[in-house]
Amino acid sequence: DEYDNFANEVLAAQLGGQDRYATLVYGEGILKTVFKAIKALSSGQGLDKVFITGVSPVVMSDISSGYNVAKDISLRPRYHDLCGFHEREVAEALEKIGEECGLPKDQTAEALAMMRTFYNGYRFGYGDDPLVYNPTLALYFFDNYQEECAYPRDILDDNLAMDRNRIEYIARLPHGQELVARILDPTEPPRIDQLLKRFGVQDMLATTKDQSFLASLMYYLGVLTIADRDAMGRLTLCIPNLVIRRLYVERIRDSLLPEYEDREISRSAAEHFYTSGDLSPLCDFIETRYFQVFDNRDYRWTNQL
């Protein structure tokens, strides 16, 4: 289970990640050696069937010579809901918790609407199957809702901190920062012909990768999902929900406004707008601080306040 979890963490590490990864998966690295042994045992020497789960195809691409008998079933229609909850399942759980807590039905319906906004939105496959809920986030919400009979104070589960690291890792790849910024624009979503499957580390470090490569990797990492197809038959990708969108926004904020003073001023200006409706301090901050970090090309996407 999650055979590639440690490798993804190593790759996302700021210092020495690539060298450590190479030691594990290349040559006679320990991971490649393990998969060679599994391959041998599954050839009539003790293992009848091997079922492997993971996050991305990065590791399998790099150890393909050690385990070249794998069959990828992750995009087959019959498995699209293997790792997610349908809305009816979420609604049934909320209804049961509501009854135990003595909550009115309209509050249960409100909880479902909130979960739909923040946790729903994943599609694992090429079809038009119903979207599924993130199980980690859904269970986090259920646990708090059942224990406290109230919503969790923080809608984002700390277990998703790794997703923030993955967005950070993508942004550090060639052209990754540009794609991360563009994804937040709903009028120009990423479109690709198909999901790519080979993601060796050397492939990711190359300087000439196109949008299909990076967007496919982000799909496998769970920070993009399939929305639909356009008139040309291309896959349209989008951010699954508000929880993941928050991670993108925080990544861009940290990149553009790394200083403590700037963040405090922006927070104060935003709070002033929330409580008074006065946009002046926020506009002043954007003009004097925020726009200074852009170059002329960025202004193409800026409209007037």
pLDDT tens-digit profile of 132-151?
Answer: 998 989 999 999 999 999 98
pLDDT at 305: 47
Same domain as 61, residue 26: yes
Q: Has residue 163 been placed in a domain?
A: yes
* The model scores a pTM over 0.75: yes
Cα torsion angle, 29, 32, 35, 37, sign = negative
In angstroms, the CA 28 to CA 114 distance is 49
Q: Has residue 62 been placed in a domain?
A: yes
How many structural domains are present in the chain? 4
- Tokens 């986090």 correspond to 140
Same domain as 143, residue 90: yes
Residues of the chain with pLDDT under 70: 1-29, 55-56, 58-66, 160-162, 199-209, 293-305
Phi–psi pair at 184, nearest 5 degrees: -75, -10
Task: Report the alpha-carbon angle 37-42-43, nearest 5.
Answer: 100
Q: Has residue 52 been placed in a domain?
A: yes
Listed residues 21, 50, 71: the one ending a domain: 71
Q: Are strands 235-238 and 225-229 parallel, antiparallel or unpaired?
A: antiparallel
Could you report the per-residue pLDDT of 100-114, keeping only the tens digit for each? 999 999 999 999 999
pLDDT at 103: 92
With beta carbons less than 8 A apart as the criterion, state whether 305 and 281 touch: no
Q: Has residue 115 been placed in a domain?
A: yes
Q: Has residue 253 been placed in a domain?
A: no
Q: Has residue 118 been placed in a domain?
A: yes
Listed residues 71, 100, 122: the one ending a domain: 71
3 state DSSP class of 68: coil
Q: Containing domain of residue 29, as a range?
A: 5-71
Same domain as 165, residue 141: no
Structure tokens at 190: 């990423």
- Any alpha helices (H) in 26-104, and if so which ranges? 30-41, 58-62, 87-101
Phi–psi pair at 71, nearest 5 degrees: -120, 120
Amino acid at 68: N
Q: Which of 30, 71, 66 is nearest to 50 (CA)?
A: 71
Same domain as 198, residue 269: no
Q: Has residue 109 been placed in a domain?
A: yes
pLDDT at 196: 82
Listed residues 134, 155, 176: the one ending a domain: 155
Same domain as 170, residue 108: no
